Structure 1
Amino acid sequence: MSLHRFQIILQCLHLVDDDEESTDKIRKIRPVLEFLVDRFQAVYRPGRDILIDETLLRCKVRLSFKQCTLHKKNRFGIKFYITSKSVTGYVYNCTIYTGKDKSKFQERTAICMSGETAKEMLGNLAKIFT
């Protein structure tokens, strides 16, 4: 595909209306991300060996939720939380970290923020193992 054709397709590609008023930082790609996660979960149910991992997608653009991780080669990027099958690597659930959500963690609970994130990433898989 030529660069000119790619630029024409990119101009025509719109995921959401710009008129929407929202505080969601990833509102323009959220419908695509949710569609992909729904398809991932509809096609495959992982077994007992699952992995919850955070990964950094290298990114050089200006974003309010860009993360800096000093111990990695690519230090700056977008942080993803991914639930996948540990043997095959099939992605079951995926979310983008856009900063601390104060509404979720107002009250003190016995589980720390990392535990809450893990519980959220497991979703309905947690019901199977309890």
Structure 2
Amino acid sequence: MSRDQFNLILSYFNLCNNVDNQPQDSPDYNPLFKIRKFVDALNENFQRTFHPGKDIAIDEAMVAWRGNLSFFVYNPDKPDKFGIKVFQLCDGQTGYCSNLEFYTGKAAPSAKGATFDVAERLIRPYLNCGRTLYVDNYYISPDLFTYLKEQRTLACGTMRINRKNGPPKTMIPKLKKTEKEAVALTNGVITLLQFFDKREVNVLTTAHDNSVVDTGKVNRSTGDPIIKLHAVNEYNKLMGAVDRSDQMV
């Protein structure tokens, strides 16, 4: 095919009928109208082809893009800093993407918040199967963890201690920086683990207790084995699933 013939075909090529597209001021406006069926087909194929294991993770990825787009974002923490943000649910062991959702700008959230809504939509096909979800502090909330527990799904993630609906500060003791201390607080469903290693780490979990494990690594300066909370060790191993997916892409 010649270049001119390709460009002629491309100029008339459409995936959707533009007549059905709603204007931006309409409540039914869909920023992904042009590719919505394609994205839905991707997710259907992901979920039919591969069933994720017991451990899954939700995080953001970036699709590199520098064109003119209303939901174009800048994220300095990603290798591709300019582009389209994608929320992904990936298998914890392989990094295989099992569900994804494009960020298309701020939308009216439910009473439980926008991050709760995103996590609930992504994990919906995998509820009531005994899986464990790992998330970072962007998604974490007691409301999400309580909801997942009711759906036979466990969860674990790092948490900012001043997060909304978190435990009162008066309940949490000050950890000594000179000693590796750990504190566990629970309401019977969710456990908050606070651990001081190089810095203070706060973990919210419904899947772990306050036990510690030997990581198999050794402190180079002292020669002592490195001990971590079991929850922290599992989080470090499994939370990188979306990063592995990005590496494969």
TM-score for the superposition, normalised by structure 1: 0.82
1:93 counterpart residue number? 99
Amino acid at match of 1:43: T
Deviations 1:10-58 (A, max 9, x none): 3353210111132100100010010111111112211112121211111
Amino acid at match of 1:64: S
* 1:74 matches 2:80: yes
1:118 counterpart residue number? 119
2:7 counterpart residue number? 7
2:32 counterpart residue number? 26
Q: Greater relative contact order: 1 or 2 (C-alpha under 8 angstroms, separation 6 or more)?
A: 1
**Mapped partners of 1:119, 1:17: distance in 2:** 31
CA RMSD of aligned residues (A): 2.0
**Mapped partners of 1:64, 1:36: distance in 2:** 23
Deviations 1:94-120 (A, max 9, x none): 110101221x42xx33xx432321111
Note the 1:38-53 alignment, pairs <5 A.
Answer: 38-53=44-59
Question: Which consecutive unaligned segments of at least 5 residues does structure 2 have?
Answer: 23-28, 131-151, 153-249
* Bigger Cα Rg: 2
Deviations 1:78-103 (A, max 9, x none): 0001111122222110110101221x
| Greater fraction of residues in strand | 2
2:26 counterpart residue number? none
Cα shift at 1:8 = 4.5
2:217 counterpart residue number? none
User: Are the counterparts in 1 of residues 72 and 84 from structure 2 also a CA contact under 8 Å?
Assistant: yes
